[in-house]
Structure 1
Amino acid sequence: MTTSTGRLFYIYGRVQGVGFRYQTYHWANQNGIKGYVYNREDGSVALGIYGSDQDIRFVEEWLNAGGPPGAKIDHYFSENWHTEKIADFSVRY
């Protein structure tokens, strides 16, 4: 099993109930980003990104610009993430 380093983002603010996951899904697919997004029980959203450093910087820039319409990101943090190769982007439940 091959693993690669990615980045796991934990995003806080008005990020549930505003279409964050579905808009992120469409944005990621339009931009060739691989990974997944899911709601967390504490009201935050987790966003796992598999790709190059450039892909990860692109996602950080998008989050810093406010992310998807309707969301209000108060803050986020991220950590390195070791994962198997991910071929696409998905919404997880």
Structure 2
Amino acid sequence: MYTSTAISSASTYHVSSISSSSPINRVLVQIDFEVFGDFSGVYFTKYAKEMSEKLGLKGWVMLSRRGTVIGQIQGEKEKIDEMALWLRLQGSPGSRIEHANFTNWQIIDSITYRNFSIRF
């Protein structure tokens, strides 16, 4: 149902137009992400954790050795869509996002993470 999606400034992320009462939005999904840009001194992982918790998502986020932000998120499809938009278009105050890759979209039976954490 889902495919890898690369989001760059030249492309547009289309959020499903399915109504919020639709059963598809209650489907649990998992995605991996990598965000490219300048995150020096802007606490991107902290803000990503706060946004994920606000949306009720579980998973993890970390700053990679390459200077990108990587992670995995689990939750309701509608909330995952919101988080993907935040990761691509908003981010933390002062961050400069170049593009974001979202891969390994999959429907899952249950949430396997207990919370949302920052990994080091």
Task: Specify the alignment match of 2:88 in structure 1.
Answer: 64
Residue identity matched to 2:115: D
Cα distance, 1:16–1:49 mapped onto 2, change above 3 Å: farther
CA distance in structure 2 between the aligned counterparts of 1:16 and 1:80, rounded to whole angstroms: 27
Q: CA deviation digits over 1:13-38, x for unaligned, max 9?
A: 01243200111112222221211100
Give % identity.
Answer: 29
Residue identity matched to 1:12: F
Cα distance, 1:52–1:46 mapped onto 2, change above 3 Å: same
With the length of structure 2 as denominator, give the TM-score of the two structures: 0.65
With the length of structure 1 as denominator, give the TM-score of the two structures: 0.82
1:6, 1:49 within 8 Å by CA — same for their partners in 2? yes
Task: Specify the alignment match of 1:52 in structure 2.
Answer: 76
The within-5 A match list for 1:34-49 is: 34-49=58-73
Task: Looking at secondary structure, tell me which structure has more strand per residue.
Answer: 1
How many residues matched?
Answer: 90
Cα distance, 1:45–1:16 mapped onto 2, change above 3 Å: farther
Q: CA deviation digits over 1:49-84, x for unaligned, max 9?
A: 011221221111212332121211100111116787
Measured on the aligned residues, the alpha-carbon RMSD in Å equals: 2.1
Q: Which runs of 4+ in 1 moved over 6 A?
A: none
Task: Specify the alignment match of 1:31 in structure 2.
Answer: 55
Task: Specify the alignment match of 1:88 in structure 2.
Answer: 115
Gaps of 5+ in 2: 1-27
2:89, 2:97 within 8 Å by CA — same for their partners in 1? no
Cα deviation for residue 44 of structure 1 reads 0.3
Residue identity matched to 1:14: D
Bigger Rg, which one: 2
